[in-house]
Chain A
Amino acid sequence: MYSLEVDPIEKCRYPMEEIMPIVSELAQKYTGCDHSSVTYEKAQMLMEAVVYCINEDGRQEGNALATKSIPAREAYENGRKIVKEKLMELRTLYHALISDFRDYGSMCLKDTVRKGIPAFLERYDFKYAPQETLLTLDYPAMRNYGALSGVDLVLCYLRDIQLEQKFLHRMGDKYIIKVLRKYHRDYEYLSENICGIVLQNVTGHMILDKPLPGQGFGQEELESLEEILSDKTEEQIKAYLLKALERLMAEYYDNDDRLLAYLGGGLSDIVTRIKYNTENHCLGQLFVL
């Protein structure tokens, strides 16, 4: 008997004999009355679709313990409904985002959001392949999405892009573009997170308590930064910057916890680079404007 293997991360808590009838029904709907059999690949896809929806139901708050007590079919139907709702939420979010979306010249960001997301919305099959992400999401967000896939992943991703837009809009397009240009002459062609580049620059201002936008960092200021940072551990620098970010959120971003969490998540990499550049006396490569 063909054994349909499912990704270990997405293993289902229901036994095969409860899932197979659901997969069988889905397969018959998928093929209409035209085909009595499907290839292994198709069967695998449909199995993963069922498991994805069941796990979607399990991920809902409060369902983790209750899931075992409801039949697999009910968990699947609930999960499918949730997937459909998330797809609608993604569509709404995209339309809200795109009305004031700025790519600041980044081709990667522009293509991912303006072309990639609409392509996903057009091609995503929430019935027969909800687990498929379809996109490569080339523009890197400042978050590790782990094993997320399908509409879950794209929705989380777009929410993060929305947070980035909120952060960047406050600073004005001219300033953002200046920082990016100073960071790299051809920043438009980089596949780097532009929010992270700007945030990195802002940390220099936060450490020196230097207002934005300013005229950039002079030699004395860079030396001052080096002196401040040289005897600090990464943990200490991160803790300080987190506090500074909290103040920033309170003053300019109506205490947005989600934005704080997202930007805070990007600090680890920034702090590592700060520490390295401090040791190598090249903080000017990070604090560019």
Chain B
Amino acid sequence: MDQNNWMEEMAKQTLAAQVLETNQYTQKYGLVLRKEDAALLAEARADVLRDQKRVEFGPGILPKIIYAFCDSSYIYQDNYCESMARLQEIFFQYKNEMLDEITDDELLEFMREQFENVCRGDFDYLEGTCLDLFAQAIRAGYAGYRETEGKGVFEEVDIVKRWDRELYLEALMDLF
């Protein structure tokens, strides 16, 4: 095994161990990763880093992703491993798309908010619409997310007229 492979294997094992540790917290949401799942996620991480031409030093982002999304209404045991792999992939893709202008925490906060409130658990919508719009805004110089750490900023960059609950209630009152 050459030097690079040895180091890569060490990194995978370290990440797999970190990921399994998160079970202690996530099990209260009914989410538990098996050893095979942890190994799969570590492998997926290596693949996505290679595809996105990024290098992770120190503790990886995956445990943070797990802690951020484990209480989501749209993630449950059946889709847990697959969802984490997908979120990891989307995370690294958009770190590049946003030219590293946004911190890890800000991006995670934005992703979590959109996934839960706008995308309703739809990864394609998160990746293809919400994050795409946000990335375009950041590349154009938008920096409003810094004040709110990524929270509540999608409205400023959204181009779609969304569901307005107040308007709905008003219309309902008029009908009755």
Interface residues in chain A, defined as those with a beta carbon under 8 Å from any beta carbon in chain B: 1-3, 15-17, 20, 23-24, 27-28, 34-40, 42-43
> Does B73 sit at the interface, judged by CB under 8 A?
no
Query: Once bound together, how far apart are the Cα atoms of A103 and B82, in whole Å?
Result: 67
B3's nearest neighbour on chain A, judged by CB, is: A16
> Does B4 sit at the interface, judged by CB under 8 A?
yes
Please name 15 pairs of A and B residues whose Cβ atoms are closer than 8 Å in the assembled complex, sorted by A: A1-B7, A2-B49, A2-B50, A17-B6, A17-B7, A23-B57, A27-B57, A34-B103, A35-B95, A36-B56, A37-B54, A37-B56, A38-B57, A40-B55, A42-B55
- Are B103 and A39 in contact (CB-based, < 8 A)? no
Query: Once bound together, how far apart are the Cα atoms of A17 and B61, in whole Å?
Result: 22
A contact residues around B105 at 8 Å (CB): 34
A3's nearest neighbour on chain B, judged by CB, is: B4
CB distance from B94 to the nearest CB of A (A): 12
- Are A39 and B3 in contact (CB-based, < 8 A)? no
Give me 19 other A-B pairs in contact (C-beta within 8 A), A37-B56, A38-B57, A39-B53 excluded.
A2-B50, A2-B53, A2-B55, A16-B3, A16-B4, A17-B3, A17-B7, A23-B57, A27-B58, A34-B103, A35-B100, A35-B103, A36-B56, A36-B59, A36-B64, A37-B49, A37-B54, A40-B53, A42-B55
Query: Once bound together, how far apart are the Cα atoms of A36 and B60, in whole Å?
Result: 6
- Are B4 and A40 in contact (CB-based, < 8 A)? no
A contact residues around B58 at 8 Å (CB): 24, 27-28, 36
CB distance from B103 to the nearest CB of A (A): 4
> Does B5 sit at the interface, judged by CB under 8 A?
yes
Question: Which residues in window 2-34 of B have CB below 8 A to A?
Answer: 3-8, 11
A1-B4, A35-B100 given; A28·B57 CB < 8 A: yes
B contact residues around A38 at 8 Å (CB): 54-55, 57, 100
Our count of residue pairs bridging A and B at CB distance below 8 angstroms stands at 65
Q: Which 5 A-B pairs give the minimum distances between C-beta atoms?
A: A34-B103, A1-B8, A24-B57, A43-B55, A1-B4
A2's nearest neighbour on chain B, judged by CB, is: B55
> Does B96 sit at the interface, judged by CB under 8 A?
yes
A30's nearest neighbour on chain B, judged by CB, is: B57
Query: Once bound together, how far apart are the Cα atoms of A34 and B100, in whole Å?
Result: 10
Which of B4, B64, B96 contacts A39 (CB under 8 A)? B96
A contact residues around B11 at 8 Å (CB): 1
> Does B43 sit at the interface, judged by CB under 8 A?
no
CB distance from A23 to the nearest CB of B (A): 7
Query: Once bound together, how far apart are the Cα atoms of A92 and B8, in whole Å?
Result: 46
CB distance from A177 to the nearest CB of B (A): 49
Query: Once bound together, how far apart are the Cα atoms of A40 and B49, in whole Å?
Result: 10
A4's nearest neighbour on chain B, judged by CB, is: B55
A36-B59, A37-B55 given; A1·B96 CB < 8 A: no
CB distance from B148 to the nearest CB of A (A): 16
B52-82 vs A, CB cutoff 8 Å, 1 = contact: the mask equals: 0111111111001000000000000000000
- Are A35 and B104 in contact (CB-based, < 8 A)? yes
Query: Once bound together, how far apart are the Cα atoms of A15 and B104, in whole Å?
Result: 31
Query: Once bound together, how far apart are the Cα atoms of A16 and B61, in whole Å?
Result: 24
A27's nearest neighbour on chain B, judged by CB, is: B57
A2-B49, A23-B57 given; A16·B7 CB < 8 A: yes
B103's nearest neighbour on chain A, judged by CB, is: A34
A contact residues around B54 at 8 Å (CB): 37-40
Query: Once bound together, how far apart are the Cα atoms of A46 and B5, in whole Å?
Result: 21
Query: Once bound together, how far apart are the Cα atoms of A3 and B58, in whole Å?
Result: 17
Query: Once bound together, how far apart are the Cα atoms of A37 and B109, in whole Å?
Result: 17
A contact residues around B115 at 8 Å (CB): none
B contact residues around A40 at 8 Å (CB): 53-55
Query: Once bound together, how far apart are the Cα atoms of A15 and B58, in whole Å?
Result: 19
B contact residues around A23 at 8 Å (CB): 57
A contact residues around B53 at 8 Å (CB): 2, 39-40
Query: Once bound together, how far apart are the Cα atoms of A16 and B104, in whole Å?
Result: 28
A1-B8, A39-B96 given; A15·B56 CB < 8 A: no
CB distance from B169 to the nearest CB of A (A): 41
